[in-house]
Structure 1
Amino acid sequence: MDHPLFSSLPSEDQAYLAGLFGRHHFSYQEQRQIIENACDVRMWDKGSISEWIDEEKSGRELFSNHLKQMKAEREKPTDYADFMPEERMPDKYKSLFVSSDTLMGRCPCPVEGEKTRCCNLKTLDVVQQCAFGCSYCSIQSFYNSHEIRVVENLGQRLSSLELEEGTWHIGTGQSSDSLLWGNDYGTLNALSAFARKHPNLIIELKTKSKRTDYLDLNLPLNMVPTWSLNAETIIAKEEHLTATLDQRLEAAQRARDKGLLIGFHLHPMVHFSGWEDEYGSLIDTIVSRFEPEDLMMFSLGTLTFTKAVLRELRSSQRKTRILDMDLTLTAGKYSYPLETKQKLFGFAYDRFPASWKQGSPFFYLCMEDPSLWEPTFGYSYPNDRAFEAAMRQSYLSELNKREHNQE
């Protein structure tokens, strides 16, 4: 079989599928689906593909029954009760300072049309590589797994950087965790100088780390540390090597206590057994430990995969149940069906008290279908431009209030 994923399967699965394909006349596309499913059930730690195929049936009936069985599994909330992935050990890295022709990029929303509601975020990739091991993330597959690549002469590069007209919000966490490396390579010093030069520019530092030593640098107020949060089950089973939920919240409190505006991203939300209890408890904890004016933003989002990332995850054959989901093609990527997303997002937003919905923080959906806004928040934006304008007004208003309060 010449499908690229076939060779990543255990030898017993390869032998079984070779025999199966010899006994039954499947099309190439049908063989592809069976091979992908074989990769998935191994990743889920749910046995061999042979256990998911009933050979008492044949031909169309066999294939149809297999798809029906897989669909029933994917449509259920993912069960983590019996899933115990092996502990991931940190990789050893060497640091390289590299030249880069391009510093700035854009968010991964679709370029054509408005298939998702996009905030027009610009990205600044000053470090390439992440030492965390989140099962749904593709950063490590893009770069040499043992190299941390840092842009050389970053301060000089930023001092001469001409920003594209309309740039007001830059994220730094597309190719690495923004705070995992702290200021080890001088990146935060360079970004701080850049932020002070552009006081109306919001620079977001997105992280899953517990690191707080950077707070000694006295960052300018327009540098905003934000934390990706998740249910404790997902952190333990899928976000390997990252800080625990409590460690992230404690780090956020320290940044808040230092006078910085902060933000949270409940992203990616996962549809798993017990999700209501865990996400509900998480939001209750946030409300008890923070005030709404502490936060500049709070986003909701869920799992999305390109074909290339799906192929990379399956070929790695690392144990994960992150793909035990009803993969549905939406806006060129694979994700949950809209009904599942609406249930997740609506539950999360409804959990917040009314006092959190008076303008601060700014709630939004990250890279999601525009049709989800109204049922989630009770309001929506007619287009990307209106969404970006509302976000910009809210962010800069919160920044101005904080600056005024500290004068």
Structure 2
Amino acid sequence: MSGALWDITALAVDAAVADTAMAARARTALPQAQETALAPGDPLPTAPAGGRVLHIKAHKGRFLRPCPATRHYRCCGYQIIHIGENCPMDCSYCILRAYFRDKTLTAFANTGAMFAELAETFGRDISRPFRVGTGQFADSLALEPITGHTRELLGFLADYDNVTLELKSKTADLTWMAANPRPDRVLPAWSLNAPAIVAGQERDTAALETRLAAARTCAAAGFRVCLHFDPICFFAGWEREYAAIIDMIFDYLSPADIAYMSLGSFRCLPELPGRLTAEGRELPDYMLGEFAVGADGKKRLLRPLRVRQFRFMVAHLAGHGFSRGLYFCMESDEVWRAVFGHTPRELGGLAAYLLDCARNPGG
């Protein structure tokens, strides 16, 4: 689906950013959307025809922030550039369902303030490397044809050799490549899942073949890509399904094309199933198993089942020649040892290890 066709029928633009380039691009990309100019304190409009509202506004907080991790599980050290909030796609497992209660999409247009903050941080010590991304509270690229946010960001980052930017998406948008970024400083990234999960639980996302074709295009252009299996879901036939998508990856990519790959088990805030039920959506099978509440307050698949799935994934990937750059998202040292036989500390720290994988192929 094109980013200009996300059923956006209303465009709300705050007065503070009405004259920005982003607001102008949104008007051009969405000529049929009903525009509302918002003064401070004005409520958001209701989208006509049951569509969505795109809210172009100024962000008043910090733009650069650490991943919302917990000390009980190992975090990859990724830092977030906060470009907006919410996602136009409809994945049943998405944590954003618990964060945002409506369908409003938000893009932050005060990029001058963002670049000033980032320049102060990235320029303070140009020998300090940063691995950052924009795909935490929003898909990195879903709104790119409308906002041009990533192209602006890539233009700014051209002056910062110490920054590696990951663009994580379930779309196949490659319009950001028009900014001509350095292939050694940009990591195009895709979330993947079992074919049955994508077909039944990831509404309005690009097909797996389409995502992987986009990844192959990036690899051919000199970019190394990242892939993320998060969440890995437990359901009848999961071994067959995850083996199929792993095999598919290597129909499109070689192991050397992949900078790193994450594995994360399904976990959710306890209120997520209730949110789905309230939306009239049937709970998927992978949410109906036995879970324990983890140290982060999220429901997690029982550890023996997680380890079983992880071992299966690791072995099947190794069969295709991929092992360097493979890591867990938000797991304990006990799980690392049970699957890999070591902990992130023995890799020199997970953040440093992944940065090395991104910048030193085959090192």
Which of 95, 106, 128 pairs up with 1:149? 106
Q: Is the 8 A contact 1:128 1:150 kept in 2?
A: yes
Query: Structure 1 residues 270, 196: closer, same or farther in 2, change over 3 A?
Result: same
Q: Is the 8 A contact 1:128 1:149 kept in 2?
A: yes
Deviation, structure 1 residue 353? 3.7
Which of 343, 348, 353 pairs up with 1:380? 343
Residue 46 of structure 1 is matched in structure 2 by none
Which amino acid is the alignment partner of residue 137 of structure 1?
C
Q: Distance in 2 between matches of 1:373 and 1:102?
A: 33
Residue 187 of structure 2 is matched in structure 1 by 224
Instruction: Name the SS of the counterpart of 1:173 in structure 2.
Output: coil
Which amino acid is the alignment partner of residue 104 of structure 2?
E
Query: Structure 1 residues 319, 90: closer, same or farther in 2, change over 3 A?
Result: farther
Q: Distance in 2 between matches of 1:355 and 1:337?
A: 28
Deviation, structure 1 residue 90? 9.0
Which of 168, 172, 188 pairs up with 1:206? 168
Q: Is the 8 A contact 2:151 2:178 kept in 1?
A: no
Q: Is the 8 A contact 2:250 2:320 kept in 1?
A: no
Query: What are the equivalent positions in structure 2 for 1:105-116 lying under 5 Å apart?
Result: 105-110=65-70, 113=71, 115-116=72-73
Q: Is the 8 A contact 1:117 1:384 kept in 2?
A: no
User: Does 2:304 correspond to 1:346?
Assistant: no
Q: Distance in 2 between matches of 1:285 and 1:377?
A: 24
Alignment RMSD (CA, Å)? 2.6
Provide, for residues 165-199 of structure 1, a one-character-per-residue CA deviation record: whole Å limited to 9, x for no partner: 76611121111111111242121122102322221
Which amino acid is the alignment partner of residue 347 of structure 1?
F
Residue 194 of structure 1 is matched in structure 2 by 156
Instruction: Name the SS of the counterpart of 2:162 in structure 1.
Output: coil
Deviation, structure 1 residue 101? 2.0
Q: Distance in 2 between matches of 1:355 and 1:275?
A: 19
Instruction: Name the SS of the counterpart of 1:328 in structure 2.
Output: strand
Provide, for residues 95-125 of structure 1, a one-character-per-residue CA deviation record: whole Å limited to 9, x for no partner: 4232322212221221xx3x21112221112
Q: Distance in 2 between matches of 1:319 and 1:142?
A: 20
Which amino acid is the alignment partner of residue 308 of structure 2?
K
Instruction: Name the SS of the counterpart of 2:144 in structure 1.
Output: coil
Query: What are the equivalent positions in structure 2 for 1:81-230 lying under 5 Å apart?
Result: 91-110=51-70, 113=71, 115-143=72-100, 145-161=102-118, 162-163=120-121, 168-221=130-183, 222-230=185-193
Which of 293, 307, 320 pairs up with 2:256? 293
Residue 292 of structure 2 is matched in structure 1 by 328
Listed as ranges, the gaps of 5+ residues in structure 1 are 1-88, 402-407
Question: How many corresponding residue pairs?
Answer: 307
Q: Distance in 1 between matches of 2:346 and 2:275?
A: 33
Query: Structure 1 residues 353, 386: closer, same or farther in 2, change over 3 A?
Result: closer
Deviation, structure 1 residue 151? 1.2
Deviates more, 1:379-388 or 1:319-328: 379-388
Which amino acid is the alignment partner of residue 104 of structure 1?
L
TM-score (norm 2): 0.77
Listed as ranges, the gaps of 5+ residues in structure 2 are 1-48
Provide, for residues 18-51 of structure 1, a one-character-per-residue CA deviation record: whole Å limited to 9, x for no partner: xxxxxxxxxxxxxxxxxxxxxxxxxxxxxxxxxx
Which amino acid is the alignment partner of residue 332 of structure 2?
D
Deviation, structure 1 residue 355? 6.5
Higher relative helix content = 1
Higher relative strand content = 2
Query: Structure 1 residues 116, 196: closer, same or farther in 2, change over 3 A?
Result: same
Q: Is the 8 A contact 2:82 2:134 kept in 1?
A: yes
